[in-house]
Amino acid sequence: MTCRFSFGFMSCSGLLLYVLVAGVSLAEGPTAEQALQLQPVQKSVSFDLPDGTEMAKCTIGAKKIDGRVAWIVSGPNGQILRQFVDTNGDNVVDQWSYFREGLEVYRDIDANFNGKADQYRWFHTAGSRWGLDTNEDGTIDVWKAISAEEVTAEAVAALAKQDGERFMHLALTPEELQSAGLGEEKAKELATRIAALRAEFKALLSKTPGLSSEAKWIQFGASRPGAIPAGTDGSTADLRVYENVLVLVEDGGKYDQVQIGTLVEVGQTWRVIGVPQFVAEGQSELTDAGFFFRAKVRGPAPSDTATADAPSEETQKLLGELQEIDQTAAGVATTAELAPLNARRAELLEQIADLAPTADDRSQWVHQLADTVSAAVQSGTYPDGAQRLEALFKKLSDNEKERHLAAYVRFRQLTAEYALSLQGANPDFAKIQSGWLETLAQFVADFPREPVSSEAMLQLAIAKEFAGEEEEAKEWFGKIVEIFPQSGSADKAAGARIRLDSVGKEITLSGKTPDGKTLNLSQYRGNVVLIQYWASWCEPCKTDMVMLKDLISRYGGDGFSVVGVNLDDRSQDMAAFLASNKLPWLQIHEEGGLDSRPANEMGILTLPTMILVDKKGQVVNRNIHVAELDKEVKNLMR
């Protein structure tokens, strides 16, 4: 294998960029120390950087990954630190990846192969942002993907740096507004609002001292997002929004609240539609807080000492310690080190929840406490966490007004205990699973109308289907749709019922292909069709493709077709796989993976899943195995 890469540096507008020049053979390639000198274009990235002693023990080597040449930098313990890839085979690196604790957390990308990074992506524990740099100056011009939480963090950064352009990159654009399908009156109102954003943000900075340049985003606060269904006020499409979003900001040791207001989901991004507002002492009401729901947020009521909703002095101290613990935990990896940190973190979260000024604030803190403790138990870094959740559940159960919180904590507690039982020595999996299903059923009986029960019902339904008890599975799926139609599980449950009842019936399937065209299953009428739901991370799926290619070669000319439904979270993962694995059939893909629209419409729960459809468009087998395909296809072709 011969490769030619070299690393060079140049400074541009105060940002460290890098150019890669052909001309150095593999034998003359960079040392590990040289490679580790490279820095991400975006500076707000936390990644592993060995010290002087460790750096001398790092190694670098070239290898092929999915047919592409890459330089891999590894630490003394073999853990990957950097990965630099030539994705287009021109012997020049165009993708630079940075790792933390073995996970890729950030990537610079030269998508047009001109030697300059023009895309920046965050992964795993660093988030999910994906920024485009159209003029390659090191500043993000367009957000291709960004979560609601990350939007608020960017808004705080724009305030702290007094950067109007950075804020405007978060704003809903006129083009996005036009594609949202809002009714005429609402669209006009929103168009007027977003047209004034730039001037309003500038005015905000001029009339208030705002935040210092060192201010830091701490926490996102909002009730669950709401779905505005198509048909509302003349709209033609569903729209997801957050209303009344508040964020907690630390600035010079003091904690303040900033109201972000309404966020609107557009594809893989969330957008702001108004300028932030500072929650000032004595401010009794924050007006214009809800654009779609038209609700008003009660702000802090005046008092002699401090506002009611602003964090108290005691809460600020707890938040400060919480931040210190999170920073400490980021640098340790063993259970012995993490367990006491997780225990103290749980104590702090519970104290902060008890001091919360409003019921909504308390709910958010309790949810965070339950989620983080349960996750820590499941990861094995806080074995005593299940007992803490049990104690919290008992505490909440004493107050009937907090029944919803008690239910939420109880479910996270039970999930943690289930994980602990699987972590024991020589676990009896059959017995544990049987007991888990009984526990889930009892939980639903205890909390039949609490929203968290939809999660328990979905697990029961899935378990029943996998056990072959399909009638019971359909019953549980049906209860989710009936009792919790607005839950995140409802679409999946409705699709699963359709799939389970699909044999002998026509099904619908449509979606966008990678080249932007629309594929409909109906266009294959008259052909025998195999629908393969797959993902690039699913090894059995890729093994099945070998057989599918063989079937296409033998029966394709006689009317046998394959349609792929890719369930990777990101289209780039699908594209990377298909670039080196050419498939002679079309693919459908939408963002979201196993929670995407195509997956939910048929209630796809696991991969691989394949559905065989006859020439009339009717389902013959809704879960066919690759070993059965040759015989079934032959029969149908006759």
**What value does the mean pLDDT take over residues 126-149?**
92
Question: Quick one: DSSP state of residue 595?
Answer: G
Q: What are the DSSP E strand ranges found in 170-238?
A: 216-221, 226-228
605 closest CA partner among 541, 533, 545, 557: 533
Q: Where are the beta strands (DSSP E) in 101-195?
A: 103-109, 119-122, 130-132, 142-145
* Residue 426 vs residue 587, higher pLDDT: 587
pLDDT at 307 (0 to 100): 44
Residue 308 confidence (pLDDT): 45
Kindly provide the residue ranges of all beta strands, DSSP E only, lying in 1-115, ordered along the sequence.
7-12, 15-20, 59-65, 68-74, 80-86, 95-100, 103-109
Give the number of residues written for the chain: 638
Q: Report the C-alpha gap between 602 and 617 in whole angstroms.
A: 15
| Residue 489 clears pLDDT 60, i.e. is over it | yes
Banded model confidence at residue 16, pLDDT cuts 50, 70, 90: very low
Examine residue 427 and say whether the peptide bond preceding it is cis (omega within 30 degrees of 0): no
- Amino acid present at 136: E
Q: What is the largest CA-CA distance in the chain?
A: 86
**pLDDT value of position 218:** 87
Measure the CA–CA gap between 41 and 30, rounded to whole angstroms.
20
Cα dihedral across residues 149, 150, 151, 154: positive or negative = positive
CA dist 115 → 5, 93, 231 (Å): 12, 8, 48
Q: List phi, psi (to 5°) of 264.
A: -120, 135
Q: Please check the confidence at residue 515 and state whether its pLDDT lies above 90.
A: no
Neighbour count for residue 199 (Cβ, 10 Å): 11
* Contacts of residue 413, Cβ cutoff 8 Å, sequence gap at least 6: 370, 374, 386, 389, 390, 392, 393
The helix (run of H) or strand (run of E) holding residue 317 is: helix 313-329
H or E stretch covering 633: helix 626-637
Question: pLDDT band at residue 280, thresholds of 50, 70 and 90?
Answer: low
One-letter amino acid for residue 516 of the chain: G
Give the number of other CB atoms < 10 A from CB of residue 59.
13
Instruction: Give residue 50's Cα distance to chain centre.
Output: 29
Q: Which of 171-175, 267-271, 307-311 has the lowest mean pLDDT?
A: 307-311
| b/e sequence 580-619, b meaning 16+ C-beta within 10 Å | eeebebbbbbeebbbebebbbbbbbbebbbbbbbbeebeb
Going from the C-alpha of 214 to that of each of 11, 203, 250, the distances in angstroms are 24, 21, 9
**How many CB atoms are located within 10 Å of the residue 517 CB?**
8
Tokens of 378: 């499941």
For residue 473, is pLDDT > 90? yes
Task: Give the mean pLDDT of 382-398.
Answer: 94
CA 210 from centre of chain:
31
Q: Which of 435-439's residues contact partners 24+ apart within 8 Å by CB, and which partners?
A: 437/463, 439/414
Rounded CA gap, 538 and 281, in Å?
54
pLDDT tens digits along 562-583: 999 999 988 888 998 999 899 9
Average pLDDT over residues 405-422: 94
* pLDDT attached to residue 545: 95
**With left for phi above 0 and alpha for psi between -120 and 50, is residue 608 left, alpha or beta?**
beta
Residue 350, Cβ neighbours under 10 Å: how many? 19
The CA distance from 408 to 393, in Å, is 9
**Structure-block tokens of residue 458:** 């979905």
Tokens of 153: 């963090």
- Is the pLDDT score of 21 beyond 60? no
Confidence class for position 551, pLDDT limits 50, 70, 90: very high
**613 has pLDDT over 70:** yes
CB count in 10 Å sphere of residue 3: 18
Tell me if 282 sits within 8 A of 300, measured CB to CB.
yes
Who has greater pLDDT, 361 or 148?
Answer: 148
Burial classification of residue 317, based on how many CB atoms lie within 10 Å of its CB (0-12 exposed, 13-18 middle, 19 or more buried): middle
For residue 478, pLDDT over 50 is answered with yes
d(CA 35, CA 33): 5
Give the residue among 175, 136, 160, 183 at the shortest CA–CA distance from 271.
Answer: 175
pLDDT tens for 59-97 read 999 888 877 888 999 999 889 999 999 988 888 899 999
CA distance 496 to 600: 8
To which residue do tokens 């009660």 refer?
Answer: 298
Q: Convert the pLDDT of each residue in 214-254 to its tens digit.
A: 888 988 888 778 888 888 888 888 899 998 888 888 888 78
For the record, the structure tokens of 132 come out as: 């485009």
Residue pair 257/279 in contact by the 8 Å Cβ criterion: yes
Say if residues 48 and 56 touch (Cβ distance below 8 Å): no
How is 262-302 classified by DSSP, letter by letter? EEEEETTEEEE-S--EE--TT--EETT--SSS---EE-PPP
pLDDT for the residue 310:
58
Question: Taking the CB of residue 226, how many other CB atoms lie within 10 A of it?
Answer: 14
Average pLDDT value for the chain: 86
Tokens of 437: 């299903």
When pLDDT is cut at 50, 70 and 90, the band that residue 169 belongs to is: very high
Lowest mean pLDDT among 188-197, 454-463, 529-538, 540-549: 188-197
Q: What is the pLDDT of residue 29?
A: 65
What pLDDT, in 10s, does the model give residues 177-222? 888 888 888 888 888 888 888 888 888 887 766 788 888 898 888 8
| 8-state DSSP, 506 | B
Other CB atoms within 10 Å distance of the CB of residue 55: 17
**Phi, psi torsion values for 188, nearest 5 degrees:** -65, -40
- Residue 27 per-residue DSSP state: G
Q: How far apart are the two ends of the chain, measured CA to CA in Å? A: 50
How far is Cα 110 from Cα 499, in angstroms, rounded to an integer?
A: 42
How many whole angstroms separate alpha carbon 617 and alpha carbon 420? Answer: 46
User: CB burial class (10 A; 0-12, 13-18, 19+) of residue 543?
Assistant: exposed
**In this structure, how many other beta carbons lie within 10 angstroms of the beta carbon of residue 481?**
20
Residue 513 has pLDDT above 80, yes or no: yes
